[in-house]
Structure 1
Amino acid sequence: MTFVQIIDCKTDQVDEMNRLLDTWIELTRGRRTATHSIVGSDRADARHVVEIVEFPSYEEAMRNSRMPETNRIFSKMVALCDEPPTFVDLDVVRDDQFDKSTVRSFFDAIGTGDVDLLRQLISPDYRDNDPADETGPLTADEFVAKMGTYGAAFDAAFTVRSQCAEGDLISSRWTWEGTHTGAFRGLPATHRQLDTTGTTTFRLEHGRLAEGWWNWDNMRLLRQLGLIQPSG
């Protein structure tokens, strides 16, 4: 179970505290068990500082706290504070990552051909960037139309294998499998079983996809269809 520790303190030496955290990160590289750290200052009181640290589990957090470097740096951090910091230890019982869920719904919508849902998920100003598309960046309408041609040509579905998030960017590693059931690039249905892989990164605004960048093995798809011949 994911474990989160909240450290609450007051200090007017926030810059020095950040330098200590940088030192700890450097000293514990390859051994620390903390996976994510956020430091924030109170807008109503800049001296009120909160650090939120995430660990895979409580046990991993305890391993982290027992490292000599952790104790040494923490002692120096305490010395920067007006009074001893307070701690809140939390076992995470719910973790909703809304942007990741939106992207998963996007891939589901493509697979099922749900155009209405697809339009709900992308911004009216959406721009799609795919090196495999020679026409260049596509508008929202052009992208929906393109997905319509794929939906008419293939009975297929995406499987999202993993996702990473940073700020407003979500990167998804996926596989695509299906059957060629309709005309595609002038080729009648072959009913061949097809598969390919790729990674797509989306930028989101207000919970909707605003821009997308695709990197996928389109050559594999074309070879399986017989539209290009294997090299060598």
Structure 2
Amino acid sequence: MAPVQLIECRTDRFDETNRLTDTWVERTRGKRTATHAVLGKGRSDTSHIVESVESPSYEEAMRNSDLPKTDRVFRKMVALRDEMPTFTDLEVVRDEQPNQAPARAFFGATGRTGPGLLSEFCTGDHVDHGSAHPGGVRGLAASAEQYGDWRAAFGFSLRVDGRTGEGDQMGPLWTWTARHEGAFPGVPPTGQDVSMTGSTWHHFRDGKICEGWWHHDRAGPREQLGASCG
């Protein structure tokens, strides 16, 4: 996994330190190898400053440190601090975002679950949003019915290709592949294979999905089926 470096120091000039971080981000644009940086200060001791910097590899971290602009900004930061920073290099052995697990399980169960089973992944007041339902699909029973309609028309699977976001808001990117096995509005069963891609922005509460925003091309499967039906 990607290595992380922790930088700790003390200073009463946090705002200036924060502005220098903005300077570093701007001046290393296009050359920076660090992929994620977090700057924080203590809640009870606001002079305690901790910065976490993540890089793709140890070698890339060294390249980032060797950038002339990184060195110049670092020297200015040292001047703002009450003591020399301490550095701790960490090898990350686990990086888990707890909300990923219910999201993966939800996609695996979509369309073949009733309200009781959906409650394992979704809150009771769960709402789905999409272009076909401007007011939202509200409640587990309505969601289960919606997914069931798709399952009745298609034998399908949803593959998660990637994610955006973090914490209690995450957006899976997915590919839907299916075989048309049942009646789809306006199209009788054809046995045709169809597919589409899309994304779903999930909002989590207490480890469960409370809202979902679906973005996909609903016309895509119909067009594919229309071509096969003449």
TM-score (norm 1): 0.91
Aligned-residue sequence identity (percent) comes to 45
Q: How large is the Cα RMSD of the aligned pairs? A: 2.0
1:229 is displaced (CA, Å) by: 9.4
Change in Cα spacing, 1:210 to 1:228, as seen in structure 2 (3 Å) is farther
Q: Is 2:43 aligned against 1:49? A: no
In the other structure, the counterpart of 1:136 is 135
Give the corresponding residue for 1:118. 118
Give distance in 1, aligned partners of 2:159 and 2:78. Answer: 47
1:134–1:213 Cα change, 3 Å = closer
Instruction: Check 1:156–1:75 CA distance in 2 against 1; reply closer, same or farther (3 A cut).
Output: same
Residue correspondence of structure 1 range 177-188 to structure 2 within 5 A? 177-185=177-185, 187-188=187-188
Partner of 1:11: 11
User: What is the CA–CA distance in structure 2 between the aligned matches of 1:179 and 1:117, rounded to whole Å?
Assistant: 24
Deviates more, 1:136-145 or 1:3-12: 136-145
Gaps spanning 5+ residues in structure 1: where?
none
Which residue in the other structure is 1:204 paired with?
A: 204
2:71 aligned residue? 71
Offset, 1:184: 2.6
For residue 187 of structure 1, report the CA deviation from its aligned partner: 4.0
1:3-39 deviation line (CA, Å, top 9, x unaligned): 1001111111110000000000010111101111111
SS in 2 for 1:45: coil
Cα distance in structure 2, aligned partners of 1:114 and 1:200? 19
User: What SS class does the counterpart of residue 107 from structure 1 fall into?
Assistant: helix
Matches for 1:15-30 after TM superposition, within 5 Å: 15-30=15-30
| Offset of residue 58 of structure 1 | 0.8
Does the aligned pair in 2 maintain the 1:222–1:228 contact within 8 Å? no
Moved more, 116-125 or 43-52: 116-125
Count of aligned residue pairs for this structure pair? 228
Encode CA deviations 1:166-207: one digit per residue, 9 max, x unaligned. Answer: 442211211111111222326442221111111111111121
Show structure 2 runs of 5+ residues with no match: none
Tell me if the contact between 1:20 and 1:73 (Cα under 8 Å) persists in the aligned partners: yes
Distance, in Å, in 2 between the alignment partners of 1:119 and 1:109 is 11
Question: Matched residues in 1 for 2:229 and 2:137: separation?
Answer: 28
Instruction: Say whether the 8 Å CA contact 2:6–2:52 is kept in structure 1.
Output: yes
Q: Does 1:105 pair with 2:105?
A: yes
How far residue 228 of structure 1 moved from its aligned partner, in angstroms, is 11
Equivalent pair of 2:160/2:173 in contact (CA under 8 Å): yes
